[in-house]
Amino acid sequence: MLNIDQLVTSYPDWRVSFSATLPRGEITALIGPSGAGKSTLLGMIAGFVPVESGRLSFDGVDLLPLGPAARPVTTLFQDHNLFLHLSVFDNIAIGLHPGLRLSEAQREQVKQGAERVGLGDMLSRLPEQLSGGQQQRVGLARALVRGKPLLLLDEPFSALDPALRREMLAEVARLACEQGITVLMVSHNPEDAQLIADQVLF
């Protein structure tokens, strides 16, 4: 369970406070207009945005003293940050080791991650040889192979056409269910929330 208790951050002309409880293994959608602080909350959870006060814990573990790398969190952004000179395999593998020095078990983990998102036969391709949806799948596979129990989605599929976006959201729901991942999804689109979310926050 992710527990967010009066988590506060502020800027010179803006202050925001969040409280919510996200059940373990469920998908929660955070809906709201631009500028409402949705991405700021994800940054606070991931450790990228400083927290002034409040409490943040996951499965009883206090996350606030932990740096971003030590938190049980993976974030998938709208920009999936693929390296254009690296193959699909290496773009997924970099989620396990920045230097791409993998054990045999990790190499198998990358292959399984690619299979889960339907890219098992595209491991040698470069990003420019993939469609937009396939590139998003690479980013999703990279996030999933990290094995973190908390996945934050900062509108990663918003640039896709409606049919492909629904397909990717369904893929997230399926994989989250299979792996017991807790998901917090930011969206401007209530239809996305209705499609896969167990609960919706405004």
Q: Tell me the per-residue pLDDT of 164-190, one tens digit each, with 9 for 90 and over.
A: 788 888 888 988 888 899 999 998 888
CB 54 within 8 A of CB 8: yes
Q: 3-state SS string over 37-62?
A: CHHHHHHHHHCCCCCCEEEEEECCEE
Question: pLDDT for 18-28, tens place per residue?
Answer: 999 999 999 99
Angle at 32 between CA 185 and CA 137, to 5 degrees: 30
For the chain, the average pLDDT equals: 91
pLDDT at 98 over 90: no
